[in-house]
Amino acid sequence: MSDRLERIKALRREPPPFRRVDVARVEDLTPHLRRLTFAGDDLEGLEIDEPAASVRLLLPSTGTTELVVPEWSGNEFLLPSGDRPLIRTFTPRYLRDDPPELDLDIVLHGAEGASGWARSAEPGDPAAVSGPGRGYTVDPGSDPLVLVGDETALPAIAQLLEQVPDAVPVVVHVEIRHPDARLDLPDHPEAAVTWHDLADGDPPGTAMLAALEGQDLGENARVWAAGEAAGMQQIRTHLKERGVDRSRTTVRGYWKHGRPGPG
């Protein structure tokens, strides 16, 4: 089998099965960020070993309250009707064992998709999770570790701040649409956090790119960035133009502008 076919086969490997859960609690962290705590015996055995990892969140289809678990078609998940299910990807903020609970922080960007569901979610509402997906391995030799993200990246940034060794300098740039989107991030003795307001009319990622353009990147700096997909592509291009080796960068598109339910 050619290398190309092997890569395709790997990309189409069936993801971990869905674990049924119910909403246990709902908490607003900011007017734009809501924490949903999910509980259920199916969470037993779920392990998340790296910060900034991911889980798939399966929700009832729009206009329904019944959760139907889809089947893997070999390339994607499909419902028995042949329709695509409502699945979004989020950073698992906290996972607890006793009782089994999982916290997901969801940005309230609109009235559709996962964001719309999260706006009206109540205890007892059904859902399912699958994962985990890849996380981020912190290099203790980073000097500095530069974290760049928008509101959807806040859970991952918070986890990274909790796990980066105290001796590693950390520079954090967060792009927000509203001043009241700020929230307290975990303390780190060598962290410098700057919040950047996105100007009205500017596409997502504009403030992040400007912050990164003004950031000094030495020989040992590593960059982790996450946010809107088109903005992240601009950041990839910028880092390449500056000669930053790809081995020192992790850039992830979390959502697409104009598509409901950023995750």
For 161, the token pair is: 């701040």
Would you state the pLDDT for residue 93? 98
Number of H helices, E strands in the chain: 5, 14
pLDDT at 262 over 60: no
pLDDT band at 63 (very low <50, low <70, confident <90, very high): confident
Question: How does pLDDT run across 182-230, given as a tens digit for each residue?
Answer: 999 999 999 999 999 999 999 999 999 999 999 999 888 999 999 999 9
For 11, the token pair is: 């990309």
Would you state the pLDDT for residue 259? 59
Question: How does pLDDT run across 95-144, given as a tens digit for each residue?
Answer: 999 999 999 999 998 778 899 999 999 999 999 999 999 999 999 989 99
User: pLDDT over 90 for what percent of the chain?
Assistant: 86
Q: Compute how many other C-beta atoms are within 10 angstroms of the C-beta atom of residue 129.
A: 23
Q: Is the pTM of this model over 0.95?
A: no
Would you state the pLDDT for residue 1? 45
Say how far apart CA 2 and CA 153 lie, in whole Å: 36
Q: Is residue 239 within 8 Å of 249, Cβ to Cβ?
A: yes
Q: Compute how many other C-beta atoms are within 10 angstroms of the C-beta atom of residue 32.
A: 18
Question: Which residue, among 257, 222, 220, has the nearest Cα to 239 in the 3D structure?
Answer: 222
pLDDT band at 4 (very low <50, low <70, confident <90, very high): low
Would you state the pLDDT for residue 235? 98
The H or E element that residue 149 is part of is: strand 145-149
Angle at alpha carbon of residue 236, lines to 181 and 8, rounded to 5°: 110
